Amino acid sequence: MQVGRTSLAGVLVFLPQPHRDDRGLFTRTFDSGIAREHGVRPESFVQDSQSRSRRGTLRGLHGRGGRGEAKLIRCARGAVFDVLVDARPDSPTFGHRFSMVLDDVDFATLYAPPGLLHGFQALTEQTDVCYRIDREHVPGEDLSVRYDDPDLAVPWPEPVLAISERDLAAGSWQQLRDRLIAATPRADARDRRFHRTSRHPGRGQDGRNRPL
Q: Which residues are catalytic?
A: 62, 131
Instruction: Reduce the DSSP state of residue 64 to 3 states and report it.
Output: strand
What backbone phi and psi angles, to 5 degrees, belong to 35? -60, -45
Alpha-carbon distance 67 to 19, whole Å?
Answer: 38
DSSP state of 11: -
Instruction: Reduce the DSSP state of residue 152 to 3 states and report it.
Output: coil
What DSSP line would sit under 65-128, residue for residue? -TT---EEEEEEESEEEEEEEE--TTSTTTT-EEEEEEETTT--EEEE-TTEEEEEEE-SSSEE
Which bin fits 68, alpha (ψ -120 to 50), beta or left (φ > 0)?
A: left
Strand partners, 62: 118, 144
**Sign of the alpha-carbon dihedral angle for 116, 160, 163, 75:** negative
Which bin fits 175, alpha (ψ -120 to 50), beta or left (φ > 0)?
A: alpha
Residue 13: CB atoms within 10 Å: 23
